[in-house]
Amino acid sequence: MFARVTHYRMKPESVEAAIAMLDTMKPQIMALPGMHQFINTMNDTGEGCVISLVESREISDANAGAVQALWSQFQEHLAAPPSAEGFDVIADWR
């Protein structure tokens, strides 16, 4: 299992519109190959973090173009480009 963690910052005036847009994109996001879980967090200033649990690093890397296309739909709402890093999952407790 592999986790892609992406930090982002929305324009404060765009938070509501971005959340509404995200809700409509759920089918596209969850249809990405190897996707196990998608968590999106955000505070009241528009700073947030997406944690995507994917089957493997290879699958996550192969999804990079599709993920970039999804993020591009938020371009007008972003205060800065998102910043992603990846990690091997060493524990997934529920």
Q: Which pLDDT value is given to residue 18?
A: 93
Please give the backbone phi and psi of residue 53, each rounded to the nearest 5 degrees, phi first: -95, 120
* Share above pLDDT 70 across residues of the chain, in percent, rounded to a whole number: 100
Which residues is 38 bridged to in the sheet?
52
Look up the pTM and report it: 0.92
User: By C-alpha distance, which of 83, 78, 82, 81 is closest to 11?
Assistant: 78
**50-66 confidence digits (pLDDT tens):** 999 999 999 999 999 99
Query: Given pLDDT bands bounded at 50, 70 and 90, which one contains residue 44?
Result: confident
